[in-house]
A = this chain, B = another copy of it.
């Protein structure tokens, strides 16, 4: 169980460090856009797509009109809407392609990515920086990050840190939205599905 505990520790540490990169202005702009949009569309691939869905579910609980790209009932995106894209690299091609279409149609683009200079970052009206595991040779890999990741890649393989950090940031955004929209837990519960 040693590895499991070390892995959990590395994840918690990454999230704790990453949250210090959160920028108040960025977060506020992100929240404003969600609240001001007619419809909010979530998109992500693989496990980032699951984080997108987890966020979408809570937005629905909050009474926001929200859709997941690729699910059955997602309509056309239009001016006045926003798309929220989640991609660690910021280069996932299916996401870039959808975001470009959304932007051309006049929708706002929000994203979570580890790289602000990525294609996704550059296409975004607002992006939240989510530090995951630094790429091989990244100059901004701090000493403490190296200690976490060093020889222990298998503790948090592939995009694990990005995905989990994004998910928890998104849940943090939910608590801000509850406050702004004046929603209580009972309000959320009242919209929670009862059919599963």
Indicate how many identical chains form the complex. 4
Whether B47 and A19, one on each chain, are in contact in the complex, defined by CB atoms closer than 8 angstroms, is no
Q: How many positions in chain A have a CB within 8 Å of any CB in the partner chain?
A: 83
- Nearest Cβ distance between residue A52 and chain B, in whole angstroms? 9
A135 at the interface (CB under 8 A from B): no
Within residues 68 to 99 of chain A, which ones have a CB less than 8 A from any CB in chain B?
A: 68-77, 83, 92-94, 97-98
Residue of B with least CB distance to A155: B175
Kindly specify which of A116-124, A137-145, A164-172 makes contact with the partner chain: A164-172
Most buried by B among A3, A41, A160, A171: A171
Most buried by B among A50, A68, A76, A196: A196
- In the bound complex, CA of A149 to CA of B113 (Å): 30
- Choose among B50, B102, B156 the residue that contacts A175 (Cβ–Cβ < 8 A): B156
Whether A102 and B195, one on each chain, are in contact in the complex, defined by CB atoms closer than 8 angstroms, is yes
- In the bound complex, CA of A57 to CA of B45 (Å): 12
- Nearest Cβ distance between residue A40 and chain B, in whole angstroms? 10
- Beyond A41-B195, A60-B72, list 8 extra A-B contacts (CB 8 Å): A4-B172, A5-B19, A7-B171, A7-B174, A66-B73, A68-B72, A76-B191, A105-B194
